[in-house]
Amino acid sequence: MSNEFPGWHGTTIIGVKKGGEVVIAGDGQVSLGQTVIKGTARKVRRLKPGGYDVVAGFAGSTADAFTLLERLEAKLEATPGQLQRASVELAKDWRTDKYLQKLEAMLIVSDGKELYVITGAGDVLEPEHDVTAIGSGGNFALAAARGMMDSDKSAEEVARAAMAIAADICVYTNGNLTVETIKG
């Protein structure tokens, strides 16, 4: 039997860019090992640094993600209206700062025009096919959404349907969604 403390699991975040808007949706489940600790966590947030509207979703450690969101807000205040620049600056700091290097989280961010995934490896990724997903059920949600991108569904409809599919497949994902829409 392992003496290791069981890991925290349970997030699926999706970003869908379609029809002049971006929707970021996240489920509410947080699990510790095989136990659901909370089913209504809010992992998608609207940030308004200096009046600049950005939506962010996070997967990973909540405290780590909040630290990263605070850093992103500071970068956005220093470079208003420049999400790509702020994201790259955050990724550089995350990769090189000894404290930040230990943070275990990923972010999906959008200002309605741009959509990025920011990782601790120093990546700022712009997704292909205008859809991206992270977290435990991310691959399920991504595959489902990509299959719907050519349909008549809106960005929100694609995101909600993809999250429902992920929740049916991934035991670390539930159907309690937080959905934020931002227009480009």
Query: Catalytic residues, which ones?
Result: 11
Is there a binding annotation on residue 173? yes
Q: What is the DSSP string of the chain?
A: ---SPPPEE--EEEEEEETTEEEEEE---EEETTEEEES----EEEE-GGG--EEEEEEE-HHHHHHHHHHHHHHHHHSTT-HHHHHHHHHHHHHH-TTGGG--EEEEEE-SS-EEEE-TTS-EEPPGGGEEEEETTHHHHHHHHHHHTTSS--HHHHHHHHHHHHHHH-TT--S--EEEEEE-
121 annotated as a binding-site residue: no
Is 96 annotated among the ligand-binding residues? Answer: no
Binding residues for Na(+): 167, 170, 173
Binding residues: 167, 170, 173
